Chains A and B, each alone.
Chain A
């Protein structure tokens, strides 16, 4: 393994995403949107985790509660595309629980908008 500290600082972001995603394809965007909520699944002893350090880091971050995909990217400072790939790999492996956002078909739903409006009024008067 090369000594990463010896790298040119600006070279790292160009190389790392491909390396840490092992060249995997971007996942279906519908599957993991910016606001899909994710959390670590309870560990399954019959399914020992063989995770890359980056996957383990994301899983650790997600173990204390739910975060949106965008928040995972924001907290780790990883590009969104990279985070999506790692998270969907974790989800496929059964290590991550995902909660999709409100389905586009339900967006015109007055109930949701009414709830948002009520919430804003309650919070800010």
Chain B
């Protein structure tokens, strides 16, 4: 049976009658920090939802190399940020798997752009998701998440490894930190603004 959650006032979009929604994608490979990033700046507890047919894919994810992680995102999670009386911003996070095609189409359609989270120790894992974002024609910035104590990688080397355009922004980010996440998002939006005609 469908549960009927009763929500507090702050669950609803403030000034909803005059608001228009926009969205930005927060993507990256498995366990790179997407949910953490969204949770650090969302004004609501991050929510998740799935398309009807995604459960079959659930057991396939590669858990190697990830410690202390017991759950994985099957489909998408998202958060919300009220920007003004006119604009409410949604952040949608999803892993890079091509097999969630329907979900990718839903998420990418009409998105302002994408922030791609990258772990510098697992660069090759980011290739598929960068390909996907380019395939959907979305403008993007790269946010490099540091997990280990390893010295930060040289930005030029990282750009070359990821085959980035010269003007694609690259920022470092700790997804657990609100200010750091917000700064990465701000960098993306400034870049999108530069590119808008």
Task: Name A residues whose Cβ lies closer than 8 Å to a Cβ of B.
Answer: 4, 13, 17, 20, 29, 33-37, 39, 53-54, 57-58, 60-61, 64-68, 70-71, 73-83, 99-102, 104, 107-110, 112-121, 123-125
With A61-B5, A65-B16, A102-B22 known as contacts, the answer to whether A120 contacts B109 (CB < 8 A) is no
Name A113's contact: one of B17, B48, B81, B112 (CB within 8 Å): B112
* Neighbouring B residues of A35 by C-beta, 8 Å: 21-23, 90, 110
Count of interface residues, chain B, beta-carbon cutoff 8 Å: 55
Whether B11 lies near A67 (C-beta < 8 A) is: yes
Query: B31-47: which residues lie under 8 A (CB-CB) from chain A?
Result: 41, 44, 47
With A78-B2, A81-B51 known as contacts, the answer to whether A120 contacts B185 (CB < 8 A) is yes
* Neighbouring B residues of A110 by C-beta, 8 Å: 193, 196-197
Whether B47 lies near A75 (C-beta < 8 A) is: yes
Whether B19 sits at the interface, judged by CB under 8 Å, is yes
Name A17's contact: one of B16, B48, B52 (CB within 8 Å): B52
Whether A29 lies near B112 (C-beta < 8 A) is: no
Whether A102 lies near B2 (C-beta < 8 A) is: no
CB of B54, distance to nearest CB on chain A (Å): 8
A111 to B9: give the CA distance in the assembly, Å: 29
Per DSSP, are chain B's interface residues mostly helix, strand or loop, or mixed?
mixed
A-B CB contact pairs (8 Å), 13 listed: A4-B1, A34-B78, A34-B90, A37-B21, A66-B17, A99-B16, A99-B17, A100-B20, A113-B193, A116-B189, A117-B190, A120-B189, A121-B186
A79 to B87: give the CA distance in the assembly, Å: 26
* Neighbouring A residues of B47 by C-beta, 8 Å: 70-71, 74-75
Name B49's contact: one of A60, A80, A109 (CB within 8 Å): A80
Whether A36 lies near B84 (C-beta < 8 A) is: no
> Which partner residue on chain B sits nearest A78 by CB separation?
B2
* Neighbouring A residues of B12 by C-beta, 8 Å: 64-67
Q: How many residue-residue contacts, CB under 8 A, span A and B?
A: 171
Whether B164 sits at the interface, judged by CB under 8 Å, is no
Name A123's contact: one of B90, B182, B189 (CB within 8 Å): B182
A106 to B44: give the CA distance in the assembly, Å: 27
Whether A39 lies near B16 (C-beta < 8 A) is: yes
Whether A120 lies near B186 (C-beta < 8 A) is: yes
A29 to B103: give the CA distance in the assembly, Å: 12
B157-197 vs A: 1/0 string, CB under 8 Å?
00000000000000000000011001101100110110011
Name B192's contact: one of A65, A102, A113 (CB within 8 Å): A113
A74 to B48: give the CA distance in the assembly, Å: 5
A71 to B131: give the CA distance in the assembly, Å: 28
